[in-house]
Amino acid sequence: MTNARTAWVSVPVAVMALGLVSAAGPASAEDTIRVGAPLPLTGPLSPEGLKQQRGYDLWKDTVNAAGGITAGGVTYQVEIVYVDYESNTPRAVQTAERLIAEDGVNFLFSPFGSGAAKAASSVSERYGIPTIAATASSEAVYDQGYQFLFGTFTPNSTLTDPLTRIVTDSGEGVASVAIYARNDLFPLAIAREMEKSAEARGLEVVSFDEYAIGTLDHGSALTLLRLSQPDWVFATGYINDLILIRRQMSDLGIQPKVLTMIAGPAYREFIEAGGDLAENIASAAWWHPAVSYDGQDIFGTTANYVAAFQDKYDALPDYAEASASAAGVILQLAIEAADSIDPQAVRDALAAMQATTFYGEVEFGETGQIVSLEPPVFQIQDGEAKTVYPPAIQQTDMRYGGIK
């Protein structure tokens, strides 16, 4: 384990012997684009932080192997400067400032999640450093009037509205929902959005309860939830929270017609840890390997990206990993469009971007949040996350019941 004082890791630039780079050796410091990436590489959020790191590294390695990024007549190699903030939001803010003020990064990838991204965005705004948030969907992150923050996740309602529409149109008699949310910015925000979506579709919200960060015993709250006999249980949190909640639901015999958890079921690790208990859990995310785009980025098609990820990591990418790679792709496209690494020029190119990437269509709204994606809804069936929406990538129909 490391701490914030000793956890600074500068990932070296890999100069690929492919005839694309001068034999003189690595690019000089002034010919290197340095991107700061504060991540929770240890602590309870480390599964998510490590996923982001894999996505960033795949983009960086792919760019450098292709010769780098050219802007203003100079070809730059990419270096990512990581720091572990140990799943501690105040420390994430401190390390973001150190990356900019002391380590001299050119650009920044936000810390993980809406809460840390919002907290750290004030730092990059103060320094005028273009910053891309790869895992922040809550509109509260983007409503601060900041000019240098851009995010790859659409608002939370783009997940909850399709979910409630699918369930209420199913004819399965789902009339009530119980919501159980981690008291943290994103999990609580999407739970509130679910409440709005449910009420708009005529569902009765029979309970809305919150649990504290770090809760290990959900027994009392889940016992009260069971008394309300909901047709649908909607639980939010991060992967470790949701695995624990799912096991304790099973222990208590809670078996709704529909069980939705956000976020976690999109990850292979959740399915493997849950085993049979993961079956028939529904969820939604901002990307799925089943989507198909022909992009103008370094990866080109979605299929090319998936193949590159599998080749490097021997696994299918999930939305968190793909979004991290997309953050790099978007930054690269902005630098190339600006033909400069000047922060203001790159910021302006981000604001004006209308591009197709392996991740999807990229266009940012006035607040800097992406507005051009249609997030998939999926369900774990037979040990796999299979899409049920939108129709263009639907792999199966939603199942009801079967919650053990």
Strands 384-389 and 377-381: antiparallel
Which residue is listed with tokens 């100069």? 15
Reported as a single tens digit per residue, the pLDDT across 191-242 is 999 999 999 999 999 999 999 999 999 999 999 999 999 999 999 999 999 9
Residue type (1 letter), 327: A
Q: Which residues of 222-237 are buried (b: 16+ CB within 10 A; e: fewer)?
A: beebbeeebbbbbbbb
What is the Cα–Cα distance from 279 to 276, expressed in whole angstroms? 6
Domain 8-154+289-363 fold is Rossmann fold (3.40.50)
Of the pLDDT bands very low, low, confident and very high (cuts 50, 70, 90), residue 264 is confident
pLDDT higher than threshold 60 for residue 1:
no
Reported as a single tens digit per residue, the pLDDT across 49-64 is 999 999 999 999 999 9
Q: Strand, coil or helix: what is 52?
A: helix
Reported as a single tens digit per residue, the pLDDT across 77-126 is 999 999 999 999 999 999 999 999 999 999 999 999 999 999 999 999 99
pTM metric for this prediction:
0.84
What is the Cα–Cα distance from 326 to 222, expressed in whole angstroms? 37
As a whole-number percent, the residues of the chain with pLDDT over 90 amount to 89
| 116 phi, psi to nearest 5 deg | -70, -35
Q: Where in the chain is the domain with CATH 3.40.50.2300?
A: 8-154+289-363, 157-285+376-393
Average pLDDT over every residue of 123-131:
97
Q: Name the nearest CA neighbour of 358 among 297, 314, 311.
A: 297
What is the Cα–Cα distance from 153 to 359, expressed in whole angstroms? 11
Kindly report the CATH number that applies to the domain delimited by 157-285+376-393. 3.40.50.2300
Token digits for 127?
């320094």
Confidence (pLDDT) at 35: 98
Which residue is listed with tokens 């939603």? 398
Q: Name the nearest CA neighbour of 240 among 44, 383, 51, 50.
A: 44
